[in-house]
Amino acid sequence: MKIIHDCDNTMGMQHRDIDDGMALLYLRGGSDVELLGVTLTFGNSTIEDVYRCTRTLFDDFTISDVPLVKGAANTEHRHSDAAEFLAHTAATNPGEITLLATGSLTNLLGAYQVDHNFFHNLHQVVIMGGVTEPLIINGKEMGELNVSSDPEAASGLFLSGTPVTVITGNLCLQMPFGTNQMRTLQDFISPSLYAYIEAPFTPWMQLMQNYFGVSHIYLWDPLAAVYCTSPELFISEKNDYETSIAGLSKGFLRVDGGDITCMLNVPHSLTSPHMILKVLADSYLQLPSPV
């Protein structure tokens, strides 16, 4: 399947999340994935930080056959090289591309502004973001990031008519990823790849421990990537959602009295977290050792 990954990867950057990088590596290792490009957006950090981290990841895994394209730095300048790339690539592969978006959705709106047929040229869009209810971790609320970073872009996507699947933060709470899960990965992948993933995982887990009091992270973006290739591992339901720009600015897909009505596919359960971990490991197993 043809996939473009639009992300805000900060894997390898101190005090930043690692899940975009894990999702990208999953796609790179997937035997049934043709990764047409990686476009970059802001979110976890600035666009310059995201580009630097992703350029490093590409170099570490000698990825030279996949375009890496810098996108918008903020919502005020949505036109970017990434927007042009997305619009052009969708137009030349009509109905074939799954667009996986795991950061702010700004590049998507930018691509629509380049080509108003952009969304219709896609096969589907899968995003990680949004919440159906407050995201509570061990009694503390975590703010939503991706949808809320550009609510106008989220609204444009949701109203576009293209099939949209939303992997919410609420769903991701069903997939904690801690030391035991890392040991499971260790049984499948090379020592060098394990060390590569484990190095940023440990301090990020420590930050989760310090702030939320939990001894694990959550596989936010890798879950969305796995949905693209293995939707049978998710229990999904399409429904109309009523929201608003104000609601989306906080990441909420549903608010009382919303003036935006959209049809979304929102998985609510995982059939088997163990199988999802196995699917991730199988894909990582195909990767070369990092240099």
60-119, pLDDT tens digit by residue?
A: 999 999 999 999 999 999 999 999 999 999 999 999 999 999 999 999 999 999 999 999
193-237, pLDDT tens digit by residue?
A: 999 999 999 999 999 999 999 999 999 999 999 999 999 999 999
How far is the C-alpha of 68 from the C-alpha of 90, rounded, in Å? 16
Q: What is the CA radius of gyration of the chain?
A: 18
How far is the C-alpha of 89 from the C-alpha of 83, rounded, in Å? 10
Residue 73: predicted pLDDT: 95
Residue 138: CB atoms within 10 Å: 9
Residue 289 lies in a domain: no
Residue 290 lies in a domain: no
Residue 45: predicted pLDDT: 95
- Is pLDDT at 188 greater than 90 in this prediction? no
Give me the torsion for CA of 206, 208, 209, 215, rounded to 10°. -90
Residue 148: predicted pLDDT: 97
Residue 27 lies in a domain: yes
Q: Calculate mean pLDDT across residues 139-162.
A: 97
Residue 170 lies in a domain: yes
Strand order of the β-sheet with 97-101 is: 68-70, 34-40, 2-7, 97-101, 124-128, 164-167, 260-265, 238-243
Domain count within the chain: 1
Residue 114: predicted pLDDT: 98
β-strands 135-137, 140-142 pairing: antiparallel
Q: What percent of the chain has pLDDT over 70?
A: 100
Mean pLDDT of the chain: 96
Residue 291 lies in a domain: no
For residue 203, give the CATH number of its domain. 3.90.245.10
Residue 81 lies in a domain: yes
Its domain, for residue 121, covers: 2-284
pTM (two decimals): 0.97
Residue 59 lies in a domain: yes
Residue 14: predicted pLDDT: 87
- Is pLDDT at 265 greater than 90 in this prediction? yes
Q: How confident is residue 15, by pLDDT bands cut at 50, 70 and 90?
A: confident
How far is the C-alpha of 168 from the C-alpha of 174, rounded, in Å? 11
